[in-house]
């Protein structure tokens, strides 16, 4: 039972350690001593890191439970398995490194209490999601992610600094201004996420109602799916997956992630690349891991996995294309994150046909992507600090002043693009293998989509590198001194690519060593060469003026913002008008119809009061006669 207190410390300590700065900021905002309290918060993250490493190396795989609401079979159940032990360590490690980076990046901010409280609450929530086997505790962590995300995206709530905006202020397309403030970004995030969370909540309730069990590993999935039939299975999983789809910004719920870039860069790096958005795919992987759909013969599952496969691939294609057109550093990376999440979903879903191996590929891609993307975000943050510009800018002269950032960007992009023999190449080879397996099953499209996505992906990574360090405009403003903590953080972050590469190539991990075999297959090598070519071409030709119209179309994210900002509000207005009409109807019914009906009735009743006795006598005699006749007939 020693494990349970350790889990408790893991979840609670980051939150508790952020309370001093949060409280200090309420009563003494901005004082010098209060500005030192974030070190305590980062210490809390460090403690979590130590515990998660302890879990990774010393805990036995299995389930650790502690009674909570035993009468309802709802308990604290924590899982240590292949997925959670790596994911937990990754989360805690990245959170700690970004915490260190944040000490410098956020040093002069006006709302440190808010920032650190939500940052640490986020980390704790994410760890709770990662280690929870019980869907109820998982849901608590899940909601924690949502609220922390809202708090952090809207951190610069004053909306007074263009550097925190997304889009171009003043640029209008039709009725929409293509510009979003931090507070709008926060609202778009929480509203989209809640839109998915509610169906997920009901799906969890349905699972509980059907099985009386909420522990993912022991829910009798097969029996449940057979009980509710095809329609029931599809409906239940669709409701459930609305949570992961919105959280991981799959189409058509991707807009919130783009405008989430109004938050501080640290937030983008932690929440919107490595962890929170990955939580959706992680949850899908975790469910698949225990449902083992490849072992079952449930038609409903095939429908759902097919849907996830294509939704993932199409989202990946959309995200990559949009990233290719974008010029805003962070928004470009956000779109690329969406693309990667799509690939994770697609690869996980392919496990239905391919088996557990596809899940391993997806999970490894999650890990590699998390470190690489977090590195790129941290670099982007440093660049924004240094140039005071959120759009890509920088040339070779600038790169010389930012050597570390330049080097880290090169390493991160080539590691992530899938250029042989760097880290992601081996994973992508695994993914190629998975999609080829589908080709053997008669599905050609996924493989071609994957190749196209890979090429575009590689291209925009090269574009990011080129426009920021090689062939971009000279920055209008340069502030390249300092930043030692930031450099340290992203250097450590990117160095994980080398660690991962070593693990793969040196066969430290049995699942990963399988990727090496895939990497030497002809298909993988061909794709690798194409990807490299794409990377190199774009590196030397990052912008093609002839394609500027397409670029604008992509920069405007294919006009998907209209869904969030125009179509949905219009629907909202329709709902409002309907409600208003109903309101008026109710008002009319109670304030006009009923009173006037009663008034008319009342006047009718009073109208017999003529005052004439002969009228009254007629009424009385008539009534009495009428009653007597009626009852005489009845009595007959």
Partner 1 sequence: MTEILLMASVVLLTLGAAFSLKDARIGFVASVISAVLAVTSLEPEMYFFGALILVIGLLNIITLYLSDNQIKGIDYAIVAMLIFATVLVIQSTNLAVLIGTFVLVSVPTYVLVMLSENDVKLEVGIKYITFMVFATVIFIIGTFLLVYSHSNMNPTLYVIGYVLLILGLGLEVGIAPLHEWVPDVFSAADPIPVSIIASIAKFVPFIVAFKLIIATANPVTSSITMFVAFLAVLSMFAGNIGALTSREPGRVLGYSTVANMGYALSAFVAVVNFDLIYLAIAGVLMQLFANSAGKIGFFTAIKDRGVGTPFTYTFALSFIGMPPLMGFWSKLFIVLALVYSGYMWLAVLLVINSAISVPYYIRLAKELGEGWGYGVVNLVALIAAIFILMTVYPPDWFLQSVKGIVGTFVVAGV
Among the listed residues 67, 170, 442, 611, the single contact to partner 1 using CB under 8 A: 611
Residue-wise DSSP of 491-539: HHHHHHHHHHHHHHHTT-SHHHHHHHHHHTSHHHHHHHHHHHHHHHHHH
Q: Which tokens belong to 362? A: 């997806």
Residue 396 CB neighbours (<10 A): 12
Contact 535, 418 (CB under 8 A): no
Kindly state whether residue 589 participates in binding partner 1, applying the rule CB under 8 A.
no
- 507 versus 610: smaller Cβ distance to partner 1: 610
Per CB under 8 A, which region of 119-127, 128-136, 579-587, 611-619 contacts partner 1? 611-619
- 173 versus 594: smaller Cβ distance to partner 1: 594
We find the least distance from the C-beta atom of residue 631 to partner 1, in angstroms, to be: 5
Q: Which tokens belong to 631? A: 């009852």
Q: Which tokens belong to 604? A: 């009718």
- Cα torsion 346, 349, 353, 355 to 10°: value is 110
Kindly state whether residue 599 participates in binding partner 1, applying the rule CB under 8 A.
yes
- 69 versus 617: smaller Cβ distance to partner 1: 617
- 498 versus 617: smaller Cβ distance to partner 1: 617
Kindly state whether residue 598 participates in binding partner 1, applying the rule CB under 8 A.
yes
- 506 versus 619: smaller Cβ distance to partner 1: 619
Per CB under 8 A, which region of 215-223, 258-266, 341-349, 612-620 contacts partner 1? 612-620
Question: Mask 54-73, x = binds partner 1 (CB under 8 A)?
Answer: --------------------
- 174 versus 635: smaller Cβ distance to partner 1: 635
SS3 216: coil
We find the least distance from the C-beta atom of residue 635 to partner 1, in angstroms, to be: 4
- 26 versus 628: smaller Cβ distance to partner 1: 628
Per CB under 8 A, which region of 136-144, 404-412, 427-435, 599-607 contacts partner 1? 599-607
We find the least distance from the C-beta atom of residue 586 to partner 1, in angstroms, to be: 18
We find the least distance from the C-beta atom of residue 589 to partner 1, in angstroms, to be: 16
- 549 versus 606: smaller Cβ distance to partner 1: 606
Task: Find the length of the chain.
Answer: 636
Report strand pairing: 166-173 vs 74-80.
unpaired
Per CB under 8 A, which region of 194-202, 243-251, 257-265, 593-601 contacts partner 1? 593-601
CA angle 458, 461, 467 (to 5 degrees): 135
Kindly state whether residue 616 participates in binding partner 1, applying the rule CB under 8 A.
yes
We find the least distance from the C-beta atom of residue 613 to partner 1, in angstroms, to be: 5
Query: 202 to each of 77, 207, 242, 307, how far by Cα in Å?
Result: 21, 9, 11, 21
Kindly state whether residue 593 participates in binding partner 1, applying the rule CB under 8 A.
no
We find the least distance from the C-beta atom of residue 618 to partner 1, in angstroms, to be: 10
Please provide the distance, in angstroms rounded to a whole number, between the alpha carbons at the two ends of the chain.
89
Kindly state whether residue 628 participates in binding partner 1, applying the rule CB under 8 A.
yes
We find the least distance from the C-beta atom of residue 584 to partner 1, in angstroms, to be: 23
Distance CA 438, CA 112 (A): 50
Centroid of chain to Cα 44: 24
DSSP 474: P
Q: Which tokens belong to 69? A: 């609401």
- 547 versus 598: smaller Cβ distance to partner 1: 598
We find the least distance from the C-beta atom of residue 349 to partner 1, in angstroms, to be: 58
H-assigned helices in 541-612: 548-555, 561-562, 568-588, 594-606
Per CB under 8 A, which region of 27-35, 44-52, 157-165, 602-610 contacts partner 1? 602-610
Among the listed residues 26, 474, 550, 619, the single contact to partner 1 using CB under 8 A: 619
Residue-wise DSSP of 614-635: HHHHHHHHHHHHHHHHHHHHHH
SS3 291: helix
Per CB under 8 A, which region of 16-24, 191-199, 522-530, 607-615 contacts partner 1? 607-615
DSSP 475: P
Which residues contact residue 161 at a Cβ distance below 8 angstroms, ignoring those fewer than 6 apart?
Answer: none
Nearest one of 460, 457, 468, 391 to 166, comparing CA atoms: 391
We find the least distance from the C-beta atom of residue 582 to partner 1, in angstroms, to be: 24
Residue 43 burial (10 A CB sphere; 0-12, 13-18, 19+): middle
Nearest one of 240, 257, 239 to 248, comparing CA atoms: 257
- 546 versus 613: smaller Cβ distance to partner 1: 613
Omega before residue 207 within 30° of 0, cis: no
Per CB under 8 A, which region of 177-185, 393-401, 521-529, 609-617 contacts partner 1? 609-617
Which residues contact residue 102 at a Cβ distance below 8 angstroms, ignoring those fewer than 6 apart?
Answer: 38, 42, 115, 119, 264, 266
- 444 versus 601: smaller Cβ distance to partner 1: 601
Contact 326, 254 (CB under 8 A): no
Per CB under 8 A, which region of 334-342, 450-458, 582-590, 605-613 contacts partner 1? 605-613
Query: 58 to each of 51, 53, 204, 449, how far by Cα in Å?
Result: 10, 8, 32, 41
Kindly state whether residue 601 participates in binding partner 1, applying the rule CB under 8 A.
yes
We find the least distance from the C-beta atom of residue 112 to partner 1, in angstroms, to be: 58
Per CB under 8 A, which region of 345-353, 368-376, 453-461, 623-631 contacts partner 1? 623-631
We find the least distance from the C-beta atom of residue 617 to partner 1, in angstroms, to be: 7
- 209 versus 633: smaller Cβ distance to partner 1: 633
Residue 567 CB neighbours (<10 A): 11
We find the least distance from the C-beta atom of residue 170 to partner 1, in angstroms, to be: 59
Q: How many residues bind partner 1 (CB under 8 A)?
A: 25
- 297 versus 602: smaller Cβ distance to partner 1: 602
Kindly state whether residue 617 participates in binding partner 1, applying the rule CB under 8 A.
yes
We find the least distance from the C-beta atom of residue 625 to partner 1, in angstroms, to be: 10
Residue whose tokens read 């891609």: 365
Using CB under 8 A as the criterion, which residues of the chain lie in contact with partner 1 when the complex forms? 598-599, 601-603, 605-606, 608-609, 611, 613, 615-617, 619-620, 623-624, 627-628, 631-632, 634-636
């Amino acid at each position: 039972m020693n494990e349970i207190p350790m889990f408790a410390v893991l979840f609670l300590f980051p939150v508790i350690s952020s309370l001093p700065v949060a409280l200090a900021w309420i009563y003494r905002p901005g004082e010098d001593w209060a500005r030192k309290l974030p070190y305590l918060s980062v210490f809390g993250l460090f403690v979590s890191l130590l515990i998660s490493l302890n879990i990774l190396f010393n805990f036995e795989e299995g389930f650790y439970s502690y009674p909570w609401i035993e009468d309802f079979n709802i308990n604290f159940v924590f899982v240590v398995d292949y997925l959670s032990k790596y994911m937990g360590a990754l989360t805690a490690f990245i959170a700690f490194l970004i915490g260190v980076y944040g000490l410098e990046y956020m040093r002069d901010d006006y709302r440190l209490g808010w920032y650190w409280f939500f940052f640490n609450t986020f980390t704790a929530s994410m760890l709770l999601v990662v280690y929870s086997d019980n869907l109820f505790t998982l849901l608590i962590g899940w909601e924690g992610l949502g609220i922390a995300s809202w708090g952090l995206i809207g951190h610069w709530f004053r909306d007074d600094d263009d550097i925190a905006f997304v889009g171009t202020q003043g640029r209008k397309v039709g009725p929409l201004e293509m510009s979003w403030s931090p507070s709008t970004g926060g609202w778009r995030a929480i509203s989209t996420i809640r839109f998915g969370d509610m169906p997920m909540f009901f799906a969890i309730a349905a699972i509980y109602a059907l099985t009386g069990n909420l522990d993912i590993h022991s829910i009798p999935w097969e029996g449940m799916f057979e009980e509710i039939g095809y329609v029931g299975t599809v409906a239940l999983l669709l409701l459930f997956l609305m949570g992961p789809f919105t959280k991981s910004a799959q189409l058509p719920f991707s807009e919130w992630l783009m405008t989430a870039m109004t938050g501080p860069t640290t937030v983008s790096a932690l929440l919107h690349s490595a962890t929170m958005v990955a939580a959706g795919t992680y949850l899908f992987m975790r469910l698949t891991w225990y449902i083992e759909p490849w072992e079952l013969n449930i038609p409903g599952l095939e429908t759902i996995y097919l849907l996830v496969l294509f939704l993932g691939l199409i989202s990946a294609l959309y995200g990559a294309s949009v990233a290719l057109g974008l010029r805003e550093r962070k928004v470009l990376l956000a779109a690329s994150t969406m693309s990667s999440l799509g690939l994770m979903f697609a690869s996980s879903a392919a496990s239905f046909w391919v088996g557990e191996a596809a899940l391993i590929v997806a999970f490894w891609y999650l890990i590699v992507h998390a470190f690489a993307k977090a590195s790129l975000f941290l670099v982007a943050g440093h660049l924004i600090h240094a140039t005071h510009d959120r759009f890509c800018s920088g040339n070779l002269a600038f790169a010389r002043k930012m050597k570390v950032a330049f080097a880290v960007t090169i390493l991160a992009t080539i590691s992530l693009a899938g250029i042989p023999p760097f880290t992601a190449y081996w994973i992508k080879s695994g993914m190629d293998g998975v999609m080829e397996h589908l080709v053997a099953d008669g599905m050609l499209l996924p493989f071609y989509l994957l190749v196209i996505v890979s090429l575009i992906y590689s291209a925009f990574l090269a574009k990011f590198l080129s426009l920021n360090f090689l062939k971009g405009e000279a920055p209008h403003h340069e502030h390249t001194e300092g930043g030692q903590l930031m450099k340290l953080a992203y250097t450590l972050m990117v160095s994980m690519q080398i660690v991962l590469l070593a693990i793969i190539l040196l066969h430290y991990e049995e699942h990963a060593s399988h990727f090496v075999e895939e990497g030497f297959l002809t298909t993988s090598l061909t794709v690798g060469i194409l990807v490299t070519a794409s990377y190199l071409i774009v590196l030397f030709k990052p912008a093609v003026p002839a394609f500027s119209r397409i670029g604008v179309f992509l920069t405007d994210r294919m006009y998907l913002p209209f869904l969030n900002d125009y179509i949905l509000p219009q629907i909202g207005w329709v709902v409002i008008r309907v409600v208003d009409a109903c309101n008026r109807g109710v008002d009319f019914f109670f304030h006009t119809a009923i009173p006037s009906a009663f008034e008319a009735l009342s006047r009718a009743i009073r109208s017999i009061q003529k005052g004439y006795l002969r009228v009254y006598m007629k009424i009385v005699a008539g009534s009495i006669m009428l009653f007597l006749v009626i009852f005489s007939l009845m009595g007959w």
